[in-house]
Amino acid sequence: MIMANSFLKFLLIYLSTLKHYIKVFQHQNHRLLTVMVKLLMILITLTAATQMTGCNINIRAGDKPNVEALETTLTQGKSSEQDVLKALGTPIGKGREMLPFMDAPRDTWTYYYEEGDLNDDRRLFLFIFFANQHFDGYMWFSSLPEFKPKPTN
């Protein structure tokens, strides 16, 4: 409830500021400004309604890569870039990396996946390394529940 009250205070201050700017720029681009203000008011109303009713907004970004394929399908030094594409799909980014102990930079592909809501958001980052266009290893970080490390015995 405290969050809703502070949001409403913010909303009132924002709307009064908006009214001031509307008066200042009213003579310029009147039609465009009127449409923009109406759209903004609708957006603010929907946002406020969502906040006050506690609606849950789900977030999903990227494609979840098949990390099991890293151990079952791909072979370090032998699997090609095409093999990685087939196993994991298209990366969101491609680049190069070099760590202090390495002799030369390696090509790196990045995979990213995110899911959650406004209260809890989880992510997976996967980096695939290549040497001479062949799979050279990987590194991943995840806060997704299904990717928790298995206990060692």
pLDDT digits over 78-128, tens only?
999 999 999 999 998 898 888 788 788 889 999 988 888 777 778 888 899
Say yes or no: 48 and 69 in one domain: no
Q: Write out pLDDT tens, residues 6-16.
A: 666 666 676 67
Domain that holds residue 29: 2-53
How many percent of the chain have pLDDT more than 70? 69
Say yes or no: 100 and 35 in one domain: no
User: What CATH number is associated with residue 142?
Assistant: 3.30.1450
Say yes or no: 78 and 104 in one domain: yes
pTM (global) more than 0.85: no
Which residue among 53, 75, 93 closes a domain? 53
143, exposed or middle or buried, with CB in 10 Å at 0-12, 13-18, 19+? middle
Give the number of domains in the chain. 2
